[in-house]
Amino acid sequence: MMQAFVWNVRVYWEDTDAGGVVYHARYLHFFERARTEWLRSLGVQQAKMAEQDNRIFTILNMNIDFVQAARLDDELEVSVHSAHASGARMTFDQAIKRRSDGQLIAKTNVSAACLRADKFKPTRIPEWIRAEINHAK
């Protein structure tokens, strides 16, 4: 199992509903940003990958468990862990925890595919990216 990559975020007004509770769709934003920063930490810059390698990633499937609500001003830790890449597919797990008490807020398992940027057709993940993801275990 890979060591978790953790990205920190604070809950702002724009993330909440009228009651100060994080709106459910905002968790998708938090998960996405953490995945992007995780890839960046591995040397994968997605804009550069699209331009130079003609590759992009797309999400195939996400199963999300909402465990407890996050609230305005909470500091959250969004993690990426248990990643694996093979062929044209990546799978990984993510979790959001509140920093102050370690309470699990939400968790998801994600399946992503690599596509040709020009045709949106499945293609193999570049070998160097697969190696970085699988080596991080």
Catalytic positions, please? 17
**Partners of residue 16 on adjacent β-strands:** 22
> Please, are residues 6 and 87 in contact by the beta-carbon 8 Å criterion?
no
- Spell 21-45 as b/e; 16+ CB within 10 A means b: ebeeebbeebbeebbbbbbeebebe
Q: How far apart are CA 52 and CA 102, in angstroms?
A: 40
